[in-house]
Amino acid sequence: MEMSTKSLLKEVDEYLLPLPSYPPFIVKGQGMEVEDQEGNVYLDFMSGPGVLNTGNCHPEITKAVQEQVGKLTQCPGNTHNIESINLARKLAEITPGDLQKTFFCNSGAEAVEGAVKVAKKYASCKGKPGTGMVALEHSFHGRLSLSLSLTGMSGRKKGLGNFIHPASHHIMAPYCYRCALKYPACDLYCAQSLEDFFLSHLPADCVAAVIMEPLMGVAGAIVPPDGYHKRIREICDKHEILLIFDEVFAGFGRTGKMFASEHFGVVPDIMTMAKSLGAGFPLGGVITSPKVGSVIEVGDNYTTYGWNNVVGLTAGLKNIEVIEKENLVKNAKTMGDYFLDKLKESVEICPFLGEARGLGLFLGVEVVKDKKSRTPDPDMAKKIKSGLMGKGHLVGVTGNYSCVMRITPPLILTKDHIDRFIRDWNTTLESVK
Ligand SMILES: Cc1ncc(COP(=O)(O)O)c(C=O)c1O
């Protein structure tokens, strides 16, 4: 079969339901590099869909997976396996505070739905009269029914009918760059608006949990201001509401800490994980404190490919071991600081870049019509992305306004990769003017 981009695109049309995917067609990957079917090589500054913190096809992970596939792929229903215990024990060790008990599933959206289920059960067991959920505007939590209803991006719900779950609510996001109020004079109005929500929309005793990403990823690498997480935690504690941190995208070293929440000194009651948890193999997880997890009974949570997914679980354990052995959390911090400084230098001189921000190797750059109006410029963002692709760098465009360049490379990134990227970034900015 001919492998030209044109013929492959024809087959995409013929056999796949529409996806937000575009050429190149990637056929190989190793470390930071991927290769398309025509032999063009790119540096992957997205880590696949944000999952390859240890890079593509890491040799140790590949070996562990190959051995596991040759040994056991699934256990008979309702029997136990060792792989789930090994990974769960490791997760208890590396997650903050008293998070200890894990439920495994297949994806980020499933992890979110599993976390919400725990929170709702906990609220019911505590005798709360309601089990509503509060999420943030601009947030992303997945595309299943409940996780989509919690997602604060209406573009993802367009044409899908009424995707507003009656128990899912939203409060304003800590999106300082696009906020009319200025920090710190605002006194964290966005966090405080949770109290207003209880007054205007749903009494606090009818809320089971607040769910938020400690760093808002798909929204455009939005880092909440100092004190935000603590204020949310205080309000939740005051009203006996659980706090869920969705670490699906930000976890496993991406932000320069093993989990993003560690930057803010706040421990959630429940945490969700996926993406890099499985190092490219489908795997999600919900981890809770023993106290919160104690409400879950046999049968509350079960999925065919969860705890039984021994291949994914093996990849997950080896992935964490590699992150630790290769000091990738520290590398994400060092390289991320260097990268962000370079991006900030470009924002200083480029009239259509508004802000560079992020933590570790979770970076975003706002593309705007001009610095004063801050009007989003999605067309320019698209041009930058394709200009970079032409120079061999793959980046994303994200956010509710589709105007934030998303730069989330594998944590194995080197200074040389960054210097090459910045050289081409600067010439791309010149050429798209
Ligand atoms: C924070 C967050 N939660 C949940 C999800 C959904 O994960 P999945 O696509 O694996 O369902 C994503 C995906 O980008 C995410 O970034």
pLDDT tens by residue, 346-376: 999 999 999 999 999 999 999 999 999 999 9
**Domain-terminating residue out of 293, 325, 357:** 325
Q: What is the pLDDT of residue 1?
A: 52
Confidence band of 163 (pLDDT split at 50, 70, 90):
low
User: Residue range 265-283: average pLDDT?
Assistant: 97
Q: How many CB atoms lie within 10 A of CB 381?
A: 26
Q: Which amino acid, one-letter code, is at 174?
A: P
Going by alpha carbons, the residue nearest to atom 13 of ligand 1 is 142
Single pTM value for the model: 0.97
Whether 122 and 150 map to the same domain: the answer is yes
Going by C-alpha positions, the residue among 260, 323, 307, 297 that lies closest to residue 95 is 260
Q: What is the pLDDT of residue 150?
A: 96
Confidence band of 313 (pLDDT split at 50, 70, 90):
very high
Which residues form the domain of 195?
Answer: 61-325
Query: The tokens of 61 are what?
Result: 């992970």
Q: What ligand 1 atom has the least distance to the C-alpha of 142?
A: 6
Average pLDDT over the chain reads 95
Q: Compute, in angstroms, the gap from residue 199 CA to the centroid of ligand 1.
A: 31
Q: What ligand 1 atom has the least distance to the C-alpha of 275?
A: 10
Read off the CATH number of the domain in which 420 is found. 3.90.1150.10
Distance CA 266, CA 228 (A): 10
Q: What ligand 1 atom has the least distance to the C-alpha of 282?
A: 10
Distance CA 56, CA 249 (A): 17
DSSP 348: H
**Domain-terminating residue out of 281, 304, 325:** 325
Judge whether residue 2 has pLDDT over 70. Answer: no
Going by alpha carbons, the residue nearest to atom 8 of ligand 1 is 108
Q: Compute, in angstroms, the gap from residue 109 CA to the centroid of ligand 1.
A: 6
Where does residue 298 fall: left (phi above 0), alpha (psi -120 to 50 degrees), or beta otherwise? beta
Going by C-alpha positions, the residue among 152, 226, 230, 217 that lies closest to residue 186 is 226
Confidence band of 105 (pLDDT split at 50, 70, 90):
very high
Whether 10 and 133 map to the same domain: the answer is no
Task: Give backbone dihedrals phi and psi of 31, rounded to 5 degrees, phi first.
Answer: 65, -125
* Pairing of the two strands 41-44 and 33-36: antiparallel
CA atoms lying within 13 Å on the CB side of residue 352: 22
Confidence band of 306 (pLDDT split at 50, 70, 90):
confident
Going by C-alpha positions, the residue among 32, 90, 87 that lies closest to residue 361 is 32
Q: What is the pLDDT of residue 219?
A: 98
Q: What is the pLDDT of residue 78?
A: 83
Whether 318 and 368 map to the same domain: the answer is no
Going by C-alpha positions, the residue among 89, 59, 54, 91 that lies closest to residue 323 is 54
Q: Which carries the bigger pLDDT value, residue 104 or residue 22?
A: 104
Q: Compute, in angstroms, the gap from residue 184 CA to the centroid of ligand 1.
A: 30
DSSP 281: S
Q: Which carries the bigger pLDDT value, residue 78 or residue 116?
A: 116
Assess whether the previous peptide bond of 129 is cis (omega < 30° from 0).
no
Residues 255, 259, 264, 268, CA torsion sign: positive
Number of domains composing the chain: 2
Whether 104 and 242 map to the same domain: the answer is yes
User: Residue range 44-62: average pLDDT?
Assistant: 97
Q: What is the pLDDT of residues 112-153, one digit of tens each?
A: 999 999 999 999 999 999 999 999 999 999 999 899 999 999
Distance CA 231, CA 269 (A): 15
* Pairing of the two strands 393-394 and 284-288: unpaired
Q: Are 105 and 111 in contact (CB under 8 A)?
A: yes
* Pairing of the two strands 242-246 and 207-212: parallel
Distance CA 154, CA 172 (A): 14
Q: In whole angstroms, how far apart are CA 428 and each of 75, 343, 422? A: 51, 13, 10
Q: What is the pLDDT of residues 10-40, one digit of tens each?
A: 999 999 998 887 788 999 999 999 999 999 9
Confidence band of 379 (pLDDT split at 50, 70, 90):
very high
Whether 98 and 151 map to the same domain: the answer is yes
Comparing 36-40, 231-235, 289-293, 411-415, the range with the smallest average pLDDT is 36-40
Q: Compute, in angstroms, the gap from residue 248 CA to the centroid of ligand 1.
A: 6
Q: What ligand 1 atom has the least distance to the C-alpha of 272?
A: 3
Helix (H, G, I), strand (E, B) or coil at 354: strand
Read off the CATH number of the domain in which 294 is found. 3.40.640.10
Whether 356 and 287 map to the same domain: the answer is no
Confidence band of 158 (pLDDT split at 50, 70, 90):
confident
Q: What is the pLDDT of residue 301?
A: 86
Distance CA 291, CA 35 (A): 48
Q: What is the pLDDT of residue 164?
A: 66
Ligand 1 pocket, residues with Cβ under 6 angstroms: 107-109, 112, 140-142, 213, 217-218, 246, 248-249, 274
Whether 255 and 201 map to the same domain: the answer is yes
* Pairing of the two strands 362-367 and 101-105: unpaired
Whether 385 and 258 map to the same domain: the answer is no
Q: What is the pLDDT of residue 161?
A: 73
Percent of the chain residues past pLDDT 90, beyond the cut: 89
Whether 270 and 225 map to the same domain: the answer is yes
Whether 237 and 378 map to the same domain: the answer is no
Q: Compute, in angstroms, the gap from residue 140 CA to the centroid of ligand 1.
A: 7
Whether 174 and 280 map to the same domain: the answer is yes
Q: What is the pLDDT of residue 381?
A: 98
Whether 84 and 164 map to the same domain: the answer is yes
At which residue do the structure tokens 């190092």 appear? 279
**Domain-terminating residue out of 325, 345, 374:** 325
Q: What ligand 1 atom has the least distance to the C-alpha of 112?
A: 4
Q: In whole angstroms, how far apart are CA 253 and each of 4, 95, 140, 181, 351? A: 38, 11, 19, 32, 33
Distance CA 305, CA 283 (A): 9
* Pairing of the two strands 207-212 and 168-171: unpaired
Judge whether residue 302 has pLDDT over 90. Answer: no
At which residue do the structure tokens 């992957």 appear? 44
Distance CA 337, CA 333 (A): 6
